Amino acid sequence: MWKEENNTLTRTFEFKNFVDAFTFMTKIAFEAEKMNHHPNWSNVYNQVTISLNTHDAGNTVTDIDYKLADKIDKLFDGWGSKFKR
């Protein structure tokens, strides 16, 4: 689940391997680009950690962050159990 603290929404997702994690990041990149709202994230092997806030709003959490988080959750939920750890 997403955690909101220090003006940031953060969540870590776990996959079976690096390729699945990186594929997930690629799918997010396309959605984020459509919204012109880009996450801060990191990937270590099978984990992707995403942090969202709106730079134009003084680095605070806004509606657009929640909208992107919802899109990310839907991508993850639709991923299928064979890719999730």
Query: Which tens digit of pLDDT belongs to each residue from 4-31?
Result: 999 999 999 999 999 999 999 999 999 9
Pick the CATH number of 3-77 from 3.30.70.260, 3.40.50.1820, 3.30.420.40, 3.30.1360.20: 3.30.1360.20
Residue 7 has φ and ψ, to the nearest 5°, of: 60, 35
pLDDT of residue 85: 63
Q: Select the more confidently predicted residue: 78 or 27.
A: 27
Question: What SS3 state is found at 47?
Answer: strand
21-74, pLDDT tens digit by residue?
999 999 999 999 999 999 999 999 999 999 999 988 888 899 999 999 999 999
Tokens of 48: 């992707």
Residue 81: band (very low, low, confident or very high) from pLDDT cuts 50, 70, 90: low
Q: Please tell me the distance from the alpha carbon of residue 50 to that of residue 29, in angstroms, as a whole number.
A: 12
Q: Residue 15 burial (CB < 10 Å; 0-12/13-18/19+)?
A: buried
